[in-house]
Structure 1
Amino acid sequence: MAKKTKKPRHPIGELLEPKRALIRPESVALPRPPAGRPGPKATGLTQNDMDILLKRSRKTYNRLECGKLRLPPDDYLVDVGRLLNLTADEYTMLWLLARGHRPTHPLHPPVGLVGPELWQAACDGQRHMMYVTDLAWTLLAHNSAFADMFIHGIAPANTARWMLLTEEGRTTLMDWETTWAPSLSAQLQAALAENPDSEVLQKIDADTRADPVAGPIYTSVTAPSIAPDGVVRRLRHPLYGPGAAKMVAANPYASPGARMIIVIFEPEEAAEDRRQGISASSSSR
């Protein structure tokens, strides 16, 4: 009789089964199985153990590993990731396999910036303005080019608060009422909706609503805005005068909610000189 070929596991099972095997039942307050228990001996958590620990009906976890659990709830994937001590990459892969997109909820509450000294070195090595903030716009790293954007050469502790609630911000950020303030207001509201427990975001939200200048703009925002990536806005630099600020934005993978922003600034005089140079070059041909 031909030997039966073992059916390949679903990719979710391939990902999660080895992680289960690493966790001893007693380490998660499950009783140690009797030494004489019939059947194969589990070296780690069984699928039934997972259902017990995650407080789900029997076979729920089995269906997840078999790829038969259609669109598992967000909180379930978070709980699975935390129970099995998944890495950030493993957690992202779980979401991609189970939901078809990257995580919409962090594996762990944001704890700041991973590798802050490396991000500071990256900022220091960038000739354009560069800075990194956490989910509440608290400044975590920046270079001297970014500090030069402020009147006294000192970057603010929180960039959102500076942009929305200071007179310097409203003057430096040209067209503040029509471009900068509405966009940042929408971004702040989106961040608060995603992180409702952030006391820093709550305070900025309350202070902005109460502000006689920013409040009406903040409460009347209609267009959503998540990130300023690729946006070009006018900025009055204290050293170089008015010009165009071209922004490049990204999220550090290992630091949920953090933002990395590069501001490429071109003074209006430099832009005009460049245009005239191009025009003169064209006419001489």
Structure 2
Amino acid sequence: MFEGAGSDADPGESLGDLLRSWRARLDPHRIPGLVRDGRRSSGLSQKEVARVTGVSDRWYRELELDRKANFSVDFLERLVLTLRLSDAERHVLYMRATGRAPLLRPQPDALAARTMDRSMQRLLDNQLPHPAFVLDEAWNIFGHNQPQADWFPWVPYEPNLMRWVFLYPEAREQLVSWREDWARPLLGQIRYACLQNPGSEALYLLRRDVLEGNPVAREIWERHEVVEHSDGHNRRLRLPYHGEQEIAVDIMNLEPMRSPSVRFIVLMKSD
């Protein structure tokens, strides 16, 4: 049993019991690349969880067997997203797997978050049927409408857009031409934001996490490309919400005058 086990959950339940229960409740049709024939019962296998989280079958099996190992924060956070864990379940996972509580999730900039009032939510909701969301300067999502949650059900579990794009394996399947159309321009945007805001701790931590957690991102970063935030660019997606059928969207990027650090994003499905 892991050090610290029993402090945050029923001692009779092992981490393996909890993980099996959490993956059994999932709908595999909502996770890209798992269902090919259209017929499949609920729940994920150990092999499927390992694949989606980007580790070997053996590595994930060690976790379900309650064996001590050097489970990284990046892996545990990918597991939180894959299993769609609540904050309480995330806490239990960390305590059972490492004996330590997880770090607090990144929080949006306080000044930017103040723009998320009733009128801003109404504006988001009025974009239906298009997904819409608002970001702070470090790409933390602090407001969204229902289509955004439908298209991207990871939002409540990983509120930072860049962390999802670069640290979660499923993003490479959902974002078509991931390296050239998404990773390169987004890394250029991170560099531009860091140059514009050299004292921002949130941007420093985001850059560190992305580059430490993704070797392809480190390789692209060495090109020293600088890109302003995109507006009107056309990109392609392959999402479970659309039955993994490829769709194209125009990415519209707006800035509220009352808070220039906030970005209001609308994804408009192309004809």
Q: What's the TM-score once normalised by structure 1's chain length?
A: 0.51
Contact persistence 1:114–1:254 (CA under 8 A): no
Distance 1:162 1:263 in 2: 17
Task: Name the counterpart of 2:221.
Answer: 218
Distance 1:182 1:263, change over 3 A: same
**1:69-218 map, 5 Å:** 111-117=111-117, 118-127=119-128, 128-151=130-153, 154=156, 156-210=158-212, 211-218=214-221
Distance 1:152 1:254 in 2: 29
- Equivalents in 1 of 2:143, 2:154: separation in Å? 18
Q: Specify whether residues 152 and 202 from structure 1 end up closer, same or farther in structure 2 by C-alpha distance, changes over 3 A only.
A: closer
AA aligned opposite 2:249? A
- Counterpart-to-counterpart distance in 2, 1:194 and 1:110: 19
Unaligned ranges ≥5, structure 2: 1-108
CA drift at 1:233: 0.8
With over 3 angstroms needed to count, the CA separation of the structure-2 counterparts of 1:226 and 1:116, relative to structure 1, is same
Residue 264 of structure 2 is aligned to residue 260 of structure 1: yes
Please show how residues 229-248 of structure 1 align to structure 2 within 5 Å. Answer: 229-240=231-242, 241-248=245-252
Structure 1 residue 236: Cα displacement: 0.9
Query: What is the rounded CA distance, in whole Å, between the counterparts of 2:196 and 2:110 in structure 1?
Result: 12
8 Å CA contact retained: 2:124, 2:132: yes
State the alpha-carbon separation in 2 of the partners of residues 110 and 190 from structure 1. 22
Does the aligned pair in 2 maintain the 1:110–1:255 contact within 8 Å?
no
* Aligned-residue offset at 1:156: 3.0
The amino acid that maps onto 1:123 is: L
Paired letter, 1:137? W
Rg bigger for which structure? 1
Q: Judging changes above 3 Å, is the alpha-carbon distance between structure 1 residues 202 and 234 closer, same or farther for their aligned structure 2 residues?
A: same
- Displacement of 1:219 in angstroms is 2.6
Judged with a 3 Å threshold, the aligned counterparts in structure 2 of structure 1 residues 195 and 152 are, in CA distance, closer, same or farther, namely closer
Structure 1 residue 159 displacement after superposition: 0.8
* AA in 1 matched with 2:163: R
- Quote how far apart the aligned CAs of 1:193 are: 1.1
Query: RCO (CA 8 Å, sep 6+): is it higher in 1 or 2?
Result: 2
| TM-superposed deviation, 1:113 | 3.6
The percent identity for this pair of structures is 31
Q: Kindly tell me: are residues 153 and 139 of structure 1, through their superposed partners in 2, closer, same or farther at Cα, counting changes over 3 Å?
A: closer
**2:38 corresponds to:** none
Write the letter of the residue equivalent to 2:112. Answer: G
Aligned ranges 1:7-26 → 2 under 5 Å? none
Letter of the structure 2 residue corresponding to residue 135 of structure 1? E
Distance 1:162 1:244, change over 3 A: same
Counterparts of residues 8-47 of structure 1 (less than 5 Å): none
- 1:260 maps to amino acid: F
Aligned equivalents of 1:233, 1:136: Cα separation in 2: 21
Paired residue total: 158
8 Å contact kept, 1:164–1:214? yes
Q: Distance in 2 between matches of 1:250 and 1:155?
A: 25
Deviation per CA, 1:192-235: give whole Å up to 9, x if none.
Answer: 1111222221111112222223221233243x321220100111
In structure 1, how many angstroms separate the alpha carbons of the residues matched to 2:222 and 2:110? 27
Does the residue aligned with 2:111 lie in a helix, a strand or coil? coil
Using the alignment, how far apart are the partners of 1:144 and 1:231 within structure 2? 23
State the AA in 1 paired with 2:193.
A
Q: Is the 8 A contact 2:115 2:259 kept in 1?
A: no
